Amino acid sequence: MKVVKKPEILHAQLIVNGLNDSWSLLSQIEFNSIIRAYSRRKPIYAILFFREMIRNGVLPNKFTYPFALKACALLKALNEGKMVHCRIAKTSKQYDIHAQGSLVHMYAKCGSMSSAKLVFELIPVKNLMAYNQILDGYIKLGFLEEACKLFDEMVERDGFSWNAMIEGYAKMGDMVSAQRFFDESPIKDEISFGILVNWYAKWGDLKEARQVFDMIQERENPIAWNSLIAGYLKNGEIDEALWLFTQMGCKNSITWNIMLNGYSKYSDIENAQTCFEEMPERDLVSYNSMIFAYMNAGFHESAAQLFESMPKKDVISWNIMIGGYRRNSRNVEAVGLFRQMLVERKSPDESTICTVLSAISDMGSLAQGQWIHGYIERENISIEWVVGAALIDMYCKCGSVEVALKVFLSLSRKSLDHYNSIIGGLASHGHGQTALELFLKMEREGVKPDNLTFISVLSACSHSGLVREGYICFEMMREKHQIEPKIEHYGCMVDLLSRAGLLKKATEMVLAMPLKPNEYIWRALLWGCVNYGDITIAELAAKELIELEPYDSSSYVLLSNIYGATGRWREKEEIRERMRERGVRKVPGCSSIEIYGVRHEFVVGDMSNVQFREMQVVLEGLKHGLVWEGHE
């Protein structure tokens, strides 16, 4: 159900309130004209004007109710629709065919098919429009069995009736039934052909899509052309899509945007630019697709220049830019653009907020995360869904797990995403027992876990040494929830056993698992060998790891350290020599700290920081102070 944003309601209410002195001047006809106009463009205004019309004693007539119900249907405002229904029931208009048809349409659009069917049954003489409205409602909600029964009852059918059935079955993936209705339809228009071509292409059956397309006698059918071109592009057949594009004589803006979007998807910047420049008319979708193409290919400056030159931007434009910076690890630019968005008084959506929180998480900038949290609270943005999960994740990754837990506990409704974020955050900070308790609470509350949940839970057990609990969760995943373990789950179990020193059991699991071990699994096993000095298993793990990642220095260094710790200096030197021969260099360690909102990075061996000497003096002072206190 669509939720109308508070600012929009308040704005509409202010306009309505501003007319308080003018109500007596408005006639019934003028009210109807206003409600009719707003029902198309600003349905929330239509509902408010209808409400004020009643409040001021101006009686609606048979023309008023359909307009008001149309506005309720567009907004999926079921409660307001019921209010209008009550008004109709108190008048003689309840038997008006237009009012009854509008009620069926409103209830169907709002997803209340029981009420729609009830009103439909009360219509004494049912016309084709009423049948089509309830048929459309059943199909939109996926009630195909009920739709089929109703369709069989219909004495009269038009093109909409047949096309609705074709679309309903095609959308559900039952192309056999969709084809049957298409074949039986006596009214095959361009929409019928377009629906079938579109869904065959979407389901990847391009052969059938092409066969239906070739049946079309009227070649000026942009729906079918566009659907087939989009299908070829989706399946990577760019040459075929381009050939169709050049043959198409009825190209419209949608056609050009489909081609541009296809080039963008495959990072074909040269053809995307050519397509963009040759477009006879560019709309918002064109600009957004081209910006996405630039960002997808890593051309940030070109994307920024085009973004600034756009004649009009929508929230999608901002999201493409911010998301592009985020995907390319340009998190500072992502947050900076979000700030610019607010300065220009543009309203972000949930996607914007989540992307910015993700960028801040990667930066580890707690101060900026707190600023975003403050913005969320000031703007009354709900954290009951994805924003809440992103907020919890941000606090965890910025090291403030206590605040993350506080945000989680404040939620009145906790979704799977919320649980996954907090359990994963607790796991990464070593709060395994708390993470496990929340997982059990989640089970009690009937929230069904998924792959990510078990990765987080097993990781929590691993970080806290909860071997028995880890085994129980691993078995629960398979037996209770029928989730087949993926490589990540096996990785967590190998890490759990290796950390606990159960290296033989860890090795047995690696060799017995049905999936080919990846670098994460071998590295987890190798780390366990480093901690417990098992040379035999270490050599096995290192050999496999070096084969998978021959130029990653970590495996060489770890095995070299084990040799050194056990006094095997010759083998240690052989490993170092192999690194030199292959040109493998150890990547220097790096750490960072945020002070007053500014992030400082430090790389091992880098003495370029202007305060390096000052920091050395402070560290030496701390060291001597600790020794003086008796610490080693």
As a whole number of angstroms, the distance between CA 401 and CA 253 comes to 49
Residues 6+ apart with CB under 8 A from 11: none
What are the pLDDT digits (tens) for 55-90?
Answer: 878 888 888 889 999 999 999 999 999 999 998 888
What are the pLDDT digits (tens) for 368-412?
Answer: 999 999 999 999 999 988 999 999 999 999 999 999 999 999 999
As a whole number of angstroms, the distance between CA 472 and CA 270 comes to 54
Segment holding 602, helix H or strand E: strand 598-603
What are the pLDDT digits (tens) for 510-520?
Answer: 999 999 999 99
DSSP 611: T
pLDDT-derived band at 593 (thresholds 50, 70, 90) equals: low
Give 437-502 as a 3 state SS string.
Answer: HHHHHHHHCCCCCCHHHHHHHHHHHHHHCCHHHHHHHHHHHHHCCCCCCCHHHHHHHHHHHHHCCC
Q: How far is CA 267 from CA 258, 287, 430, 533, in A?
A: 14, 15, 41, 48
- Assigned token pair, 164: 């609705």
| Residue 9 confidence (pLDDT) | 45
Residues 6+ apart with CB under 8 A from 480: none
What are the pLDDT digits (tens) for 4-45?
Answer: 444 444 444 445 555 554 545 556 777 778 888 888 778 888
- Answer yes or no: are the C-beta atoms of 199 and 171 closer than 8 Å: yes
Which burial class, exposed, middle or buried, applies to 137 when counting CB atoms under 10 A from its CB (0-12, 13-18, 19+)? buried
As a whole number of angstroms, the distance between CA 461 and CA 424 comes to 11
φ and ψ at residue 194, rounded to 5 degrees:
-60, -40
| Residue 278 confidence (pLDDT) | 94
As a whole number of angstroms, the distance between CA 486 and CA 490 comes to 7
As a whole number of angstroms, the distance between CA 423 and CA 545 comes to 30
Q: What one-letter code names the amino acid at 451?
A: N
As a whole number of angstroms, the distance between CA 304 and CA 549 comes to 36
Q: Which of 92, 103, 102, 81 is nearest to 59 (CA)?
A: 92
Q: Which of 336, 293, 335, 283 is nearest to 314 (CA)?
A: 283
- Answer yes or no: are the C-beta atoms of 79 and 51 closer than 8 Å: no
- Assigned token pair, 312: 């009009």
What are the pLDDT digits (tens) for 536-563?
Answer: 898 898 888 888 888 778 778 878 888 8
Check pLDDT > 90 for residue 51: no
As a whole number of angstroms, the distance between CA 197 and CA 232 comes to 12
